[in-house]
Amino acid sequence: MLREARRTQNSKQDKIQVVKSQPSINSLREGQEVIYISKSNRLERYRKEKGRLWVSYMDTDNNYTVNKDLNVGGALTVDTLDVKSKITSYKIIPHNMQVDINTDEVFLPWFGIKQGSDLTGVSSSFLAPYSMTLNKIMFRASAITSNSSANLAVKLYKMDDGDAVVDVVSRATYAPDLAGDTFFVVNESDFDNNPKFEMGDNCGISIEAVSDYGGTIVWKITSVWKTEILI
Protein backbone atom coordinates (compact mmCIF):
# COMPACT_ATOMS: atom_id res chain seq x y z
CA MET A 1 0.00 0.00 0.00
CA LEU A 2 2.79 2.38 0.89
CA ARG A 3 4.65 1.39 -2.29
CA GLU A 4 1.60 2.19 -4.43
CA ALA A 5 1.16 5.53 -2.71
CA ARG A 6 4.77 6.47 -3.35
CA ARG A 7 4.41 5.51 -7.05
CA THR A 8 1.33 7.67 -7.35
CA GLN A 9 3.02 10.58 -5.59
CA ASN A 10 6.13 10.40 -7.81
CA SER A 11 4.03 10.32 -10.97
CA LYS A 12 2.20 13.49 -10.12
CA GLN A 13 3.05 16.58 -12.12
CA ASP A 14 2.36 20.10 -10.98
CA LYS A 15 -0.20 21.72 -13.22
CA ILE A 16 1.16 24.74 -15.06
CA GLN A 17 -0.99 27.81 -14.56
CA VAL A 18 -2.83 29.23 -17.58
CA VAL A 19 -2.79 33.03 -17.55
CA LYS A 20 -5.04 35.46 -19.43
CA SER A 21 -2.49 38.20 -20.14
CA GLN A 22 0.82 37.81 -21.90
CA PRO A 23 3.60 37.17 -19.37
CA SER A 24 6.54 39.49 -18.93
CA ILE A 25 9.80 39.21 -17.06
CA ASN A 26 8.31 41.31 -14.26
CA SER A 27 5.09 39.31 -13.92
CA LEU A 28 6.83 35.99 -13.24
CA ARG A 29 8.92 34.92 -10.27
CA GLU A 30 12.19 33.06 -10.69
CA GLY A 31 11.58 29.45 -11.82
CA GLN A 32 7.89 30.00 -12.54
CA GLU A 33 6.29 28.56 -15.68
CA VAL A 34 2.93 29.58 -17.16
CA ILE A 35 0.87 28.89 -20.26
CA TYR A 36 -0.62 31.69 -22.34
CA ILE A 37 -2.95 31.38 -25.36
CA SER A 38 -2.13 34.22 -27.74
CA LYS A 39 -4.53 36.25 -29.86
CA SER A 40 -3.57 34.10 -32.85
CA ASN A 41 -4.79 31.07 -30.86
CA ARG A 42 -1.27 29.69 -30.40
CA LEU A 43 -0.24 28.11 -27.12
CA GLU A 44 2.85 29.74 -25.62
CA ARG A 45 4.82 28.42 -22.65
CA TYR A 46 6.82 30.96 -20.60
CA ARG A 47 9.47 30.38 -17.94
CA LYS A 48 11.60 32.80 -15.97
CA GLU A 49 15.05 31.37 -15.36
CA LYS A 50 18.25 33.13 -14.22
CA GLY A 51 16.56 36.49 -14.60
CA ARG A 52 15.60 35.93 -18.23
CA LEU A 53 12.25 35.19 -19.86
CA TRP A 54 12.14 32.05 -22.02
CA VAL A 55 9.31 31.10 -24.36
CA SER A 56 8.39 28.12 -26.54
CA TYR A 57 5.45 27.75 -28.90
CA MET A 58 3.08 24.87 -29.57
CA ASP A 59 0.55 24.35 -32.33
CA THR A 60 -2.05 21.84 -33.46
CA ASP A 61 -1.69 22.03 -37.26
CA ASN A 62 2.11 21.88 -37.85
CA ASN A 63 2.17 25.55 -38.88
CA TYR A 64 4.82 27.56 -37.06
CA THR A 65 5.14 31.34 -36.92
CA VAL A 66 8.37 33.19 -36.10
CA ASN A 67 7.69 36.81 -35.16
CA LYS A 68 11.34 37.91 -35.16
CA ASP A 69 14.56 36.80 -36.87
CA LEU A 70 15.17 33.14 -37.73
CA ASN A 71 18.84 32.17 -37.91
CA VAL A 72 19.59 28.89 -39.69
CA GLY A 73 23.12 27.58 -39.23
CA GLY A 74 22.83 24.82 -41.81
CA ALA A 75 20.86 24.17 -44.98
CA LEU A 76 17.21 25.24 -45.33
CA THR A 77 15.03 23.04 -47.53
CA VAL A 78 11.45 24.09 -48.32
CA ASP A 79 8.81 22.92 -50.79
CA THR A 80 7.39 26.42 -51.33
CA LEU A 81 8.84 29.81 -50.35
CA ASP A 82 6.22 32.54 -50.19
CA VAL A 83 7.71 35.92 -49.25
CA LYS A 84 5.21 38.49 -47.97
CA SER A 85 7.33 41.64 -47.71
CA LYS A 86 11.01 41.70 -48.76
CA ILE A 87 13.68 39.31 -49.90
CA THR A 88 17.40 40.05 -50.25
CA SER A 89 19.19 38.20 -53.04
CA TYR A 90 22.24 38.54 -55.26
CA LYS A 91 21.88 39.23 -58.98
CA ILE A 92 24.55 38.74 -61.64
CA ILE A 93 24.67 41.04 -64.69
CA PRO A 94 27.14 40.72 -67.61
CA HIS A 95 28.63 43.81 -69.29
CA ASN A 96 30.81 42.20 -71.98
CA MET A 97 32.06 44.42 -74.80
CA GLN A 98 34.74 44.67 -77.47
CA VAL A 99 36.25 48.13 -77.68
CA ASP A 100 39.40 50.23 -77.68
CA ILE A 101 38.72 52.30 -74.58
CA ASN A 102 41.89 54.40 -75.10
CA THR A 103 41.67 57.04 -72.37
CA ASP A 104 37.99 57.80 -72.96
CA GLU A 105 35.28 57.30 -70.37
CA VAL A 106 33.29 54.31 -71.59
CA PHE A 107 29.88 53.35 -70.22
CA LEU A 108 29.39 49.60 -69.88
CA PRO A 109 26.50 47.88 -71.65
CA TRP A 110 23.75 46.32 -69.54
CA PHE A 111 22.16 44.60 -72.53
CA GLY A 112 23.93 43.28 -75.60
CA ILE A 113 27.56 44.17 -76.22
CA LYS A 114 27.35 47.83 -77.29
CA GLN A 115 29.03 50.28 -74.94
CA GLY A 116 28.11 53.96 -74.73
CA SER A 117 29.65 57.37 -74.18
CA ASP A 118 27.12 58.60 -71.63
CA LEU A 119 24.10 57.59 -69.57
CA THR A 120 21.51 58.27 -72.27
CA GLY A 121 22.22 55.23 -74.46
CA VAL A 122 19.82 52.33 -74.83
CA SER A 123 22.36 49.76 -73.61
CA SER A 124 24.52 51.98 -71.40
CA SER A 125 21.79 52.66 -68.84
CA PHE A 126 19.59 50.49 -66.67
CA LEU A 127 16.34 51.32 -64.89
CA ALA A 128 16.72 49.93 -61.36
CA PRO A 129 13.61 47.94 -60.34
CA TYR A 130 14.69 47.69 -56.69
CA SER A 131 17.37 48.97 -54.35
CA MET A 132 20.67 47.54 -55.63
CA THR A 133 24.08 47.66 -53.96
CA LEU A 134 27.16 46.71 -55.96
CA ASN A 135 28.83 43.81 -54.16
CA LYS A 136 31.68 43.53 -56.67
CA ILE A 137 32.50 43.94 -60.34
CA MET A 138 34.89 41.54 -62.09
CA PHE A 139 36.99 42.26 -65.19
CA ARG A 140 39.01 40.13 -67.61
CA ALA A 141 40.69 41.75 -70.61
CA SER A 142 41.72 39.61 -73.59
CA ALA A 143 45.06 41.42 -73.92
CA ILE A 144 46.99 44.26 -72.31
CA THR A 145 49.78 45.21 -74.70
CA SER A 146 50.83 48.55 -73.21
CA ASN A 147 50.62 50.64 -70.05
CA SER A 148 49.65 47.67 -67.86
CA SER A 149 50.35 49.71 -64.73
CA ALA A 150 47.89 52.46 -65.69
CA ASN A 151 45.11 52.97 -63.15
CA LEU A 152 41.55 52.08 -64.12
CA ALA A 153 38.75 54.21 -62.69
CA VAL A 154 35.30 52.71 -62.14
CA LYS A 155 32.38 55.08 -61.60
CA LEU A 156 28.68 54.65 -60.85
CA TYR A 157 26.24 57.25 -62.19
CA LYS A 158 22.51 57.80 -61.91
CA MET A 159 19.68 60.05 -62.98
CA ASP A 160 17.04 60.35 -60.26
CA ASP A 161 13.42 59.62 -60.97
CA GLY A 162 11.89 62.83 -62.33
CA ASP A 163 15.02 64.56 -63.66
CA ALA A 164 17.77 64.19 -66.27
CA VAL A 165 20.66 65.45 -64.14
CA VAL A 166 23.53 62.95 -64.08
CA ASP A 167 24.88 62.41 -60.57
CA VAL A 168 28.05 60.56 -59.57
CA VAL A 169 27.10 57.91 -57.01
CA SER A 170 30.50 56.43 -56.21
CA ARG A 171 34.08 56.04 -57.51
CA ALA A 172 36.81 53.42 -57.20
CA THR A 173 40.30 53.08 -58.66
CA TYR A 174 42.05 49.82 -59.49
CA ALA A 175 45.79 50.43 -59.16
CA PRO A 176 47.59 47.04 -59.52
CA ASP A 177 49.04 46.05 -62.89
CA LEU A 178 46.67 44.50 -65.44
CA ALA A 179 47.48 41.40 -67.49
CA GLY A 180 45.79 39.78 -70.44
CA ASP A 181 43.37 36.90 -69.77
CA THR A 182 43.65 37.56 -66.03
CA PHE A 183 40.63 38.61 -64.00
CA PHE A 184 40.61 41.26 -61.31
CA VAL A 185 37.92 42.49 -58.94
CA VAL A 186 36.76 45.85 -57.64
CA ASN A 187 34.83 45.28 -54.42
CA GLU A 188 32.14 47.30 -52.67
CA SER A 189 34.68 48.36 -50.04
CA ASP A 190 36.92 49.93 -52.73
CA PHE A 191 34.40 52.68 -53.52
CA ASP A 192 34.50 56.09 -51.87
CA ASN A 193 30.73 56.12 -51.25
CA ASN A 194 28.02 53.51 -50.92
CA PRO A 195 27.68 52.06 -54.48
CA LYS A 196 23.92 51.80 -54.31
CA PHE A 197 21.06 52.56 -56.70
CA GLU A 198 17.47 53.05 -55.59
CA MET A 199 14.29 51.93 -57.32
CA GLY A 200 13.55 54.20 -60.28
CA ASP A 201 17.15 55.37 -60.79
CA ASN A 202 18.42 55.45 -64.37
CA CYS A 203 21.85 54.05 -63.61
CA GLY A 204 25.14 53.31 -65.33
CA ILE A 205 28.74 52.17 -64.83
CA SER A 206 31.77 53.63 -66.57
CA ILE A 207 35.46 52.74 -66.79
CA GLU A 208 38.31 55.06 -67.73
CA ALA A 209 42.01 54.28 -68.05
CA VAL A 210 44.79 56.78 -67.33
CA SER A 211 46.71 55.46 -70.37
CA ASP A 212 45.77 53.35 -73.37
CA TYR A 213 46.03 49.60 -72.77
CA GLY A 214 46.69 49.04 -76.47
CA GLY A 215 44.09 48.66 -79.22
CA THR A 216 40.77 46.84 -79.28
CA ILE A 217 40.21 44.56 -76.29
CA VAL A 218 37.51 42.00 -75.56
CA TRP A 219 36.35 42.84 -72.04
CA LYS A 220 34.55 40.18 -70.03
CA ILE A 221 32.85 42.04 -67.21
CA THR A 222 30.38 40.78 -64.60
CA SER A 223 28.77 42.73 -61.78
CA VAL A 224 27.18 41.23 -58.67
CA TRP A 225 24.41 43.14 -56.91
CA LYS A 226 22.83 42.78 -53.49
CA THR A 227 19.18 43.39 -54.37
CA GLU A 228 16.34 44.21 -51.95
CA ILE A 229 13.19 42.95 -53.61
CA LEU A 230 10.00 44.44 -52.18
CA ILE A 231 6.90 42.35 -52.73
| Structural domains in the chain (count) | 2
Give the pLDDT band (50/70/90) at residue 177.
very high
When pLDDT is averaged across residues 148-157 and rounded to a whole number, the result is 98
Q: Report yes or no on 118 lying in a domain.
A: yes
| Residue 202: per-residue pLDDT | 97
Q: Report yes or no on 5 lying in a domain.
A: no
Q: What is the pTM of this model?
A: 0.74
| Residue 6: per-residue pLDDT | 57
Tell me what the pLDDT averaged over the chain comes to. Answer: 90
| Burial degree of 153 (CB within 10 A; 0-12, 13-18, 19+) | middle
Q: 150 with 201, same domain?
A: yes
Round to whole Å and give the CA distance between 220 and 166: 26
When pLDDT is averaged across residues 36-62 and rounded to a whole number, the result is 87
Can you give the C-alpha Rg of the chain in angstroms? 30
| Residue 5: per-residue pLDDT | 54
| Residue 213: per-residue pLDDT | 97
* Choice between 122 and 62, residue whose per-residue pLDDT is larger: 122
Q: Are the C-beta atoms of residues 151 and 207 closer than 8 Å to each other?
A: no
When pLDDT is averaged across residues 77-97 and rounded to a whole number, the result is 91
Distances (CA, A) of 63 to 58, 103, 162, 175: 9, 61, 45, 54
Q: Is 210 left (phi over 0), alpha (psi -120 to 50) or beta?
A: alpha
Q: Report yes or no on 50 lying in a domain.
A: yes
When pLDDT is averaged across residues 82-88 and rounded to a whole number, the result is 86
pLDDT exceeds 80 at position 12: no
Q: Report yes or no on 9 lying in a domain.
A: no
Q: Are the C-beta atoms of residues 152 and 208 closer than 8 Å to each other?
A: yes
Q: What angle do CA 79, 71, 22 make, to 5 degrees?
A: 100
Residue type for 4, please? E
| Residue 230: per-residue pLDDT | 84
Give the pLDDT band (50/70/90) at residue 4.
low
Q: Report yes or no on 131 lying in a domain.
A: yes
pLDDT exceeds 60 at position 122: yes
Q: Report yes or no on 53 lying in a domain.
A: yes
3-state secondary structure of 225: strand
| Residue 70: per-residue pLDDT | 83
pLDDT exceeds 90 at position 205: yes
The residue segments making up the domain with residue 153 are 86-230
| Residue 82: per-residue pLDDT | 83
When pLDDT is averaged across residues 101-118 and rounded to a whole number, the result is 94
Q: Report yes or no on 111 lying in a domain.
A: yes
Q: 160 with 51, same domain?
A: no
| Residue 144: per-residue pLDDT | 96
When pLDDT is averaged across residues 1-11 and rounded to a whole number, the result is 54
Round to whole Å and give the CA distance between 182 and 202: 31
Q: 42 with 93, same domain?
A: no
When pLDDT is averaged across residues 114-138 and rounded to a whole number, the result is 95
